[in-house]
Amino acid sequence: MTRSLKSTVATMAIAAGLALPIASQAEAGPRVVASIPAVHSLVAGVMEGIGIPSLLVSGGASPHTFSLKPSQARELQNADAVFWIGDDLESFLEKPLKALGSKAAVVEFSTNDHIELIDTREGGIWKKDGHDDHDDHKGHAHDDHGKKEMAAKKDDHDHDDHKGHAHDDHAKKDDHDEHKGHGHHDDGHEGHAHGEQDLHIWLDTHNAKEMVEVIAETLAKVDPANAGKYEANAEKVAGRIDKLDHEIEEALAKVKDRPYLVFHDAYQYFENRYGLNAVGSITVSPERKPGAKRVAELRHVIEDNKAVCIFAEPQFPPNIVQTLVEGTAARSGVLDPVGGSLPPGPDAWFALMNNLAKSLQICLNPSS
């Protein structure tokens, strides 16, 4: 081969090499950011085969106490679409998302008319002597309990008004500072104010399916070339959700009446969907350490309701759970409402829901 021919071949090879990243980048799909593992998983399922979304809160971190890294702030600035729950859950995102302006499609699920919300419960103790003020609301989180006003629902499922600045229109709490990480004690009389809404919406299969639909519609508008793929993936994910919903309902049928306590009030959607019998939470706010008065009160709740199990969470120290279990017939378990320790991806939400069901089934069944 002549020197001239070698030079030509080398030049072509370099050109081809430089073209590869460009083609690869074009096929990677839009730049998408998701806030927490459950949201990321549903987005990843809709994007499967097209692209991979970025996850902000990972590694078992809690969205209640999370802070953005500089690299993550840059991801937000460059994003084509951002999916999150709402500022009452991921308060660390409120200011960064406002700074984005209209550059990205921002979907705040808690402001979507088709996502049904439940009001937070006050005080952290929900049952005494076997009586439950919430019994008539069990079975489906989307029946009547604490719902958003649904009269404004649009029949054509138009989600456009929830993008861009959707999060600016959402009613905000005035000040959360007194509830965050100051080492204060929780005696059961502070925390969520009346009328605030529980934002752990992904723990209801009905809401999860609605989220998948919104994700597909949003991505189809951001990336029209792949609209058909997003729709097909969304149908596939929705079918998996229906199947899992049926399996969990069957798995929990025998233990749904057994009383238990959770670490904090994060599971109301799951409880209502499957008719479970949670009698209270250890803490009203996960950032606040229960005080002596609260611990004494919880011991009475355990005894009065014959609680079978008390659940810790992997994001917070389990010491208080061991203290409460000691000297009682109750067992200890672990529930993770976020799924931060799971490998991120399309299967994470399904693993999260399965793990909740298995943990409840095992701890609430004395023979297991």
d(CA 173, CA 110): 14
Residue 227 lies in a domain: yes
pTM of the model: 0.74
Q: Answer whether residue 179 is part of any domain.
A: yes
The residue type found at 96 is P
Rg (CA), the chain: 23
What is the full per-residue pLDDT of the chain (368 aa) written as tens digits?
444 444 443 444 434 444 333 333 334 689 999 999 999 999 999 999 999 999 998 876 777 778 788 899 899 989 999 999 998 888 888 888 888 766 899 999 999 998 989 988 877 777 644 444 444 333 444 444 343 333 343 344 444 444 433 334 333 333 333 333 333 334 433 333 333 889 999 999 999 999 999 999 999 999 999 999 999 999 999 999 999 999 999 999 999 999 999 988 889 999 999 999 999 888 766 566 767 787 788 888 888 889 999 999 887 777 788 888 888 888 899 999 988 789 999 999 999 999 999 999 999 986 65
Per-residue tokens: 58: 């990972």
Count of structural domains within the chain: 1
Residue 155 in any domain: the answer is yes
- Of 363, 354, 365, 194, the C-alpha closest to 274 is 354
Q: How far is residue 232's CA from residue 236's CA, in Å, rounded to a whole number? A: 6
Residue 19 domain-assigned (yes or no): no
Largest interatomic CA distance in the chain? 94
Q: Which range marks the domain in which residue 193 is found? A: 31-364
DSSP state of 262: E
The answer to whether 368 and 362 have CB atoms below 8 angstroms apart is: yes
Report if residue 9 sits inside a domain.
no
pLDDT digits (tens, 9 = 90+) for 18-66: 433 333 333 468 999 999 999 999 999 999 999 999 999 887 677 777 8
Q: Is residue 203 part of a domain?
A: yes
197-198 vs 105-108, strand pairing mode: unpaired
Those residues whose C-beta lies under 8 Å from the C-beta of residue 293, and which sit 6 or more positions away, are: 187, 188
16 in any annotated domain: no
Residue 84: which CATH number? 3.40.50.1980
**What pLDDT is recorded for position 88?**
86
Residue 288 lies in a domain: yes
